[in-house]
Amino acid sequence: MTRILHILERLESYGAARQLELLATGLPPGAFAHRACVLSAGGLSARLERSGVAVTVLGRRWPLDPETWWRMRRVATGWRPDLVHAWGPTAAVYGLAVAKACRAGRLVVRAGPTPPATAIGRAVEYGIARCADAVVVGGPAAREAAIARRLPAARLRAVPDGVAAALPPAYARGPWLRQLGLAEQTTQGYLVGLFGPLREAERIKDAIWAADLLKVVRPDVHLLVFGEGPHRDRLLLFRDQVLIRDKVHFLGEPSDAGEALAHLDVFWSAGGTGESAGAVLAAMAAGIPVHARADRRRGDGPLVPRGAARRTGRRDAAALGIPRRGAAHGRSRPPPRPRRFLRRADGPPLCRRVRWASLLLGPARE
């Protein structure tokens, strides 16, 4: 049995933790044993443990915390993994150090969707990629982008993110909203959802501004923001300053993200950094209209350029049934249909499981 030590920066509803959950349930249980070390606290440990992944939260205090490294080394030395899998740039730094310390046979890192902002960060990313046995990216386009930022092409492996088939909701909308502590009048309105870490790069402030504009033409629209992050207090202050506290609700990490998606009328992804890509795929699989920021440099992606809060509000007004905007919305470019992600109804696609199994069971590099 191959023992895999997964290192994650944090546990989020649709991020590395969700991909790890799909991976653990999709790979043959008799061939792999999983253990996860999480740098920062998160509320999804129970879900991972139900998937057969033992979770250890290390409680990191600083970006490079010696005490966190010492705790991780003790876990790795006691468990003696055959492979270390680091999910993300920060986790890759710890992953390389712990793989060297416990003499793991292989090191697999997940490259970030965008290059680091600083020259030091880019140099560290390049050095870790040179030392790793494989660098996983999200698809062929992400592989080309990684080659463009000079990551070694021979070690890049394109494995698209997985998404489970959408399930019917367990609750009606009214009881579900009451569980979240929302007012009764929210039940009769339109719900716009947004998932993602509450950080500046995710452009949550633009979404709040778009919701403020949207309430002028449709007063019964509510924006539900799921996630945690360092900018939560700033976003709450901005929401209160624009006097939209009754329309924008910060709900933290959902206990069941699939249940939350099932009750939404429109899904927003404002950041365009790739952090909420799993949530976008799940919303598309559930048949929910998705409005995401387009990447004009590549010429792809739906619909709205960065900072265009007014255009976001206009197009969502069309999606929510305002007739005057309907024709323009119908002519806009639709998001791509996720056919390649839905080949199996019981978990990740079969081809994705085969790719991961061949990657994780491959021989160690000399």
Per-residue pLDDT of the chain (366 residues; tens, 9 = 90+): 889 999 998 887 778 888 888 888 888 878 899 999 998 876 677 788 888 888 888 888 888 888 888 999 999 988 889 999 999 888 999 999 999 888 888 999 998 878 888 899 999 999 999 999 999 998 888 899 999 989 999 999 998 888 887 788 888 888 888 888 887 667 778 899 998 788 887 889 989 988 888 888 888 889 999 988 888 999 999 999 989 998 999 998 887 888 888 889 999 988 766 667 778 888 888 888 888 765 544 444 444 444 444 455 555 555 555 444 433 444 444 444 444 333 333 344 444 545 555 555 544 333
Q: Which CATH class is domain 173-341?
A: alpha beta
Q: What confidence score (pLDDT) does residue 313 get?
A: 52
Identify the CA nearest to 39 among candidates 97, 83, 82, 78.
Answer: 97
* DSSP-assigned beta bridge partners for residue 106: 83
- The answer to whether 294 and 303 are in contact (CB under 8 A) is yes
How do residues 320-353 score in pLDDT, each as one tens digit? 554 444 334 444 444 444 443 333 333 444 445 4
How far apart CA 99 and CA 77 sit, in angstroms, is 10
- The answer to whether 300 and 294 are in contact (CB under 8 A) is yes
Identify the CA nearest to 8 among candidates 33, 32, 44, 46.
Answer: 44
- The answer to whether 339 and 346 are in contact (CB under 8 A) is no
Q: What confidence score (pLDDT) does residue 216 get?
A: 84
* DSSP-assigned beta bridge partners for residue 2: 32
- The answer to whether 104 and 82 are in contact (CB under 8 A) is yes
Angle between helical axes of 119-131 and 89-102 (0-180°, round to 10): 40
Q: Token pair of 209, please?
A: 């501004």
Q: What confidence score (pLDDT) does residue 160 get?
A: 87
Cα distances from 115 to residues 7, 179, 290, in angstroms, run: 20, 40, 25
Helix (H) or strand (E) holding 61: none
- The answer to whether 193 and 162 are in contact (CB under 8 A) is no
| Coil vs helix vs strand at 148 | helix
The domain segmentation of the chain, as residue ranges, is 2-164+346-360, 173-341
How far apart CA 107 and CA 205 sit, in angstroms, is 38
Q: What confidence score (pLDDT) does residue 364 get?
A: 39
CATH number of this structure's domain 2-164+346-360, picked from the four choices 3.40.50.720, 3.40.50.2000, 3.40.630.10, 1.25.40.10: 3.40.50.2000
How far apart CA 291 and CA 270 sit, in angstroms, is 8
Phi, psi of 321 (to 5 degrees): 100, 25
CA trace torsion 180, 183, 185, 188 (10° rounding): 0
